[in-house]
């Protein structure tokens, strides 16, 4: 199925979860914030959030320093 990830149209397997998508894009799950269709998807819910065709996902990664 096709979803939009960080602005790019992307093919992922049916049933991919938000947690699975973070793994697919190769980002450290502890260092990202994830939003699905405009709503934040907290880490506790990423594993149960099954993505659907056409959804828009934003994954924002953070590096250290502040």
- Binding-site ranges for another protein (CB under 8 A): 6, 28, 30-33, 35, 38, 40, 42-43, 58, 60-66
Which residue's CB is nearer to another protein, number 20 or number 43? 43
DSSP code of 50?
B
> Is the distance from CB of 12 to CB of 63 less than 8 angstroms?
no
Which residue's CB is nearer to another protein, number 15 or number 29? 29
Q: How far is the CB of 29 from another protein (least distance, A)?
A: 9
Which residue's CB is nearer to another protein, number 20 or number 45? 45
Instruction: State the virtual CA torsion across 25, 27, 33, 36 in degrees, nearest 10.
Output: 10
> Is the distance from CB of 51 to CB of 24 less than 8 angstroms?
no
């Amino acid at each position: 199925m096709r979803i939009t990830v960080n602005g790019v149209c992307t093919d992922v397997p049916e049933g991919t979860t938000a947690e699975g998508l973070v793994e697919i894009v190769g980002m450290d799950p502890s260092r990202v914030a994830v939003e699905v269709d405009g709503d934040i998807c907290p880490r506790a819910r990423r594993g149960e959030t099954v993505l659907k065709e056409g959804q828009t996902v934003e994954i924002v990664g953070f590096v250290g320093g502040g």
